[in-house]
Structure 1
Amino acid sequence: MRKKTPTVFVSGLFHETHTFLAERTGLGSFRELALHHGPEILACNEGNGTPMDGFLAFAREAGWEVTPGIQMAAMPSGMAEDAVYDYFREHFFAALDVHWQQVDAVYLVLHGAMVCENTADVEGRLLEELQFFFSLRGKQVPVVAVLDLHANVSQKMIDNSTCLYGYRENPHTDAREAAVTAAAFLQEILEQPGVRQVFHATPYIAPPAGQGTAADPMRALLRRAAAVEAANPQLLCINVWAGFAYADIPDCGFSFSCCTRGPAAEAAAWLAALEQELKAHLQPAYPYEHTLESVLAIPGLMAPVLLIEASDNIGGGTPGDGTGILAPLLATGETGIVAILNDPKAVQDCIHLGIGATGTFTIGGKTDRFHGDPVTFTATVSNLTDGCFELENKNSHLASITGAFVNMGPCAVIRNTQATVLLTTYKTPPMDLGQLRSQGIVPETAQFIIVKAAVSHKQAYDPIAGAAFYIDSPGLCTSNLRRLPYRHIGHKRIGPDAAET
């Protein structure tokens, strides 16, 4: 007979991996954001608005005994070093080995699009090794995980878990809520076992800019999935996995899964119908990008004008120091420009000069040659801070990654008659206006704001925008996926004509 109070082992591994970047992501990047062992997971997450906080809140309300293992998270970036997964694996299974006899279930906070140097499907490998761990000990427990909407889900992930559940919103305003829902499914499965998962991969890969849930195809897909869920009480959930386009792996792209108590064939038919829905609404997944010149030629634009630099989408892993819009915009002589660049070297130069000093700085374009060249910028240092701020919106997309408190590292603001530039030490996605306001910048007064994002900025920036345009600019988060040197995606389809192929 099952114990009245379940013991749930919880851990987290969260990284969205951009495999086309030359950089490697090591343990240091995880230490900067989150690397917690045992009870540290509880102390560092409760009340911070993250998915882990959502799980802990549910567990506390349900009266579960929570056994924490290890939690690791880093900002989206280049290929993770093998040492990262080796470290996680060592500590995860060491902690589980101590407690496995008491454990009734495992709950994981994962991203779903992590890639290591020699492991294309990190989450699939982890789940497979977890099942092997319990099989060696003659024990079976349910394994439930909450994943990011942009997960590149694999059959291996499905085969080695009991229920996967993904965010429903992009921007990810529901990340904590999704974790609570996943925990509720775990409770239901503990009380009534007997669920199965069904998976359906598709050949379609779309850029992040085409995956906002307020527009098609995601809007149509989620509406259809919700209708099927509502009409079929045996269904726990249907997931629409948008995928992460910048992972050059076989499992990249759109897929669907469900967890059900009903027949597998029936579930498979629902998922196949979702692929047809995707195909019917695929065109908006490949959004049009304007040239900067064409936008500047539009008369009577209301300010602030958002110039969306999806090609240097920090939330997609790029370095955040791209100058592909800033450089030509400065060259036009336009004024009222606000930009954010991740440039630790320039920050140190500003600190050396001090507030009120004027200097000529070389800003941006330092990471690689894919995101523009450095810009020479003569300006006055108007502010220096430690770069820490609290989110204005505790349910923002950024909370799903960092929690409610964000550390950009030492920051500097430099200004001249044309532009105000916030320089950061740690790249920070523009998902909350507190990022600017905490540094003394009032975004509403800008004429142009360069936004290094694809969709995640919309909740914060759209309400203040007079107009917004996606700009075709250089960078490895380009929305034109045909510019990228894919080698491992097989016969996947990556262009606006994909549905016709």
Structure 2
Amino acid sequence: MTPTVFVAGLFHETHTFLHERTGMDSFRKMALFHGRDIIANNDDNGSPMDGFLWYARERGWQVVPGIQMAAMPSGMVEEEVYNYFRAHFFAALEKSWPSLDAVYLVLHGAMVSEGTPDAEGRLLEELQHFLDARGKQIPVVAVLDLHANVSQQMVSNSTCLYAYRKNPHTDAREAAIKAAVLLHEIMLEPAVRQVFRATPYIIPPAGLGTDADPMRAVLRKAAAMEAASPEILCINVMAGFAYADIADCGVSFTCCTRGSAEKADACLAELERELAQHLQAAYPEENRLEEVLALTGKQTPVLLIEAADNIGGGTPGDGTGVLAPLLATGRNGIVAVLNDAVAVQACVAAGIGANIALLIGAKTDAFHGEPVKFEGTVKNLTDGRFELENKNSHLASIMGSHVNMGTCAVISNGQATILLTTCKTPPMDLGQLRSQGIAPEAARYIIVKAAVSHKQAYDPVAAAAFYIDSPGLCTSNLTRLPYRHIGNKIISMPAGT
């Protein structure tokens, strides 16, 4: 018999320290699809939803698409958004539940709304209540971002969670397919259980690359445990998202198994010990700009990583904490991207070839520097649309392969070439620059507003890369943030370690 699977998606990584709120418009700009439009807008776009849909076609499943909503990482999600999703999600379920054999969800795992610190946990619990009330016992499987802040509520109300294994997230589509494979196995043999283990550690994104410890060591051990234990379907290492001031923030582990809960818990305890042994690498120290400039030689380009304005972590992408002092040194060959819709419109009004004086950047809040005076020539104006050069890039896990930065302008003078965007866009694919006429290989310095997600794209063209200590709400020094709800979680290297 052909299985019928209901699919939906809710994807947002919420930075609770930002003053902005994330409303319906943010989701309309990126993804707000109902029914068959989910299939039409995700086909072959490299996203997790695309991965599920591909596997479902291969298996011949009947897919019932509900609702898909996604927005760029940003501030607290307005309750209107969750209510909208919930209303349409359960309305679609109400129409189709008698025929369903399973539910598959594409979630981020770190969404915080005004009404709940654990939006995914709330959704999964409401879904379970819906199914229980109708006497419907079917598996609920979800694929999660590696940076999920997982809760017991999420685990208790799902059958199996499966998280990305790589950061940068080059395996998001692959992970979605693996989650679908697990769903297939569970539909054939439903007897599984999930075990959850929270840890006391909150780690900044710059310390969570999977090609380096601690994540490399912990993921390697988790993979060995999976391989050695046929009863284990999967072990997840969730890195957490440090900028959510909630009780469930931080690194956690889950195990989905056909074996005993005791054995699964013992495996997860061993993973926590492995993490503790590699904590030294989890809290990286950043460099002062002047120190880095003194070290750089003739080989270029040099990446100046501005993790404190990490667009992929939710910050506005208009920070000037690295650009301003770098321009002040008089150095040239600088390439930077700023999200500044006001400056873009000024360039549009002036036209290509016009000389223009602008105040650029730092227009969102007081945490990301001061506006910078820049005089230059408008070199290019575009609609800001581009195709990913790498369809498996980290950016595809968020936006798919078709990216829209909004109207863009390129301004240049003897020192710097600046790409101004209308919509903040993480620097996860070099197509962002090349599509606008900027050759990254020709730069001396490239300011990159990211923590780890840039590495797959930018490291191959770079002579060197340095993390720069600068102002911003995605700082790697978590002790600068005013946490109130994390309890006794550890946010820096423990003394004496």
Shared fold, TM over 0.5: yes
Aligned residues: 497
Is contact 1:385–1:411 with CA below 8 Å preserved after alignment? yes
2:431 corresponding residue in structure 1: 434
CA shift at 1:335, angstroms? 0.3
Paired residue type of 1:63: G
CA distance in 2, matches of 1:321, 1:227: 42
- Identify which of 278, 283, 288 aligns with 1:286: 283
1:102 corresponding residue in structure 2: 99
CA distance in 2, matches of 1:298, 1:141: 59
Paired residue type of 1:210: G
- Identify which of 302, 306, 311 aligns with 1:309: 306
2:46 corresponding residue in structure 1: 49
1:334 corresponding residue in structure 2: 331
Flag as ranges the 4+ runs of structure 1 deviating above 4 A: none
1:297 corresponds to 2:294:
yes
1:85 corresponding residue in structure 2: 82
State the secondary structure of the residue aligned to 1:398.
helix
Alignment deviations for residues 406-457 of structure 1 (CA, whole Å, 9 cap, x no partner)? 0000000000000000000000000000000000000000000000000000
CA distance in 1, matches of 2:240, 2:324: 32
State the secondary structure of the residue aligned to 1:338.
strand
State the secondary structure of the residue aligned to 1:423.
strand
1:60 corresponds to 2:57:
yes
1:220 corresponds to 2:214:
no
CA 1:499–1:110 in structure 2 vs 1: closer, same or farther (change >3 Å)? Answer: farther
CA shift at 1:498, angstroms? 6.7
1:192 corresponding residue in structure 2: 189
1:206 corresponding residue in structure 2: 203
* Cα root mean square deviation, aligned: 0.7
Paired residue type of 1:92: F
Is contact 1:204–1:498 with CA below 8 Å preserved after alignment? no
With the length of structure 1 as denominator, give the TM-score of the two structures: 0.99
Is contact 1:279–1:499 with CA below 8 Å preserved after alignment? no
Q: How does 1:413-452 map to 2 (within 5 A)?
A: 413-452=410-449
- Identify which of 107, 115, 120 aligns with 1:118: 115
Is contact 1:79–1:116 with CA below 8 Å preserved after alignment? yes
1:460 corresponds to 2:457:
yes
State the secondary structure of the residue aligned to 1:101.
helix
Is contact 1:45–1:53 with CA below 8 Å preserved after alignment? yes
1:354 corresponds to 2:360:
no
State the secondary structure of the residue aligned to 2:397.
helix
Paired residue type of 2:138: V
Alignment deviations for residues 95-122 of structure 1 (CA, whole Å, 9 cap, x no partner)? 0000000011000000000000120000
1:137 corresponding residue in structure 2: 134
CA shift at 1:499, angstroms? 8.2
2:471 corresponding residue in structure 1: 474
| Percentage of matched positions with identical amino acids | 73
Q: Which runs of 5+ in 2 are unaligned?
A: none
1:241 corresponding residue in structure 2: 238
CA distance in 2, matches of 1:167, 1:236: 15
CA shift at 1:298, angstroms? 1.2
CA distance in 1, matches of 2:81, 2:169: 25
- Identify which of 179, 198, 218 aligns with 1:182: 179
CA distance in 1, matches of 2:36, 2:103: 16
Paired residue type of 1:255: S
1:483 corresponding residue in structure 2: 480
CA shift at 1:497, angstroms? 2.1
Is contact 1:340–1:423 with CA below 8 Å preserved after alignment? yes
1:157 corresponds to 2:154:
yes
CA distance in 2, matches of 1:466, 1:354: 35
1:38 corresponding residue in structure 2: 35
CA distance in 2, matches of 1:279, 1:372: 35
CA 1:391–1:325 in structure 2 vs 1: closer, same or farther (change >3 Å)? Answer: same
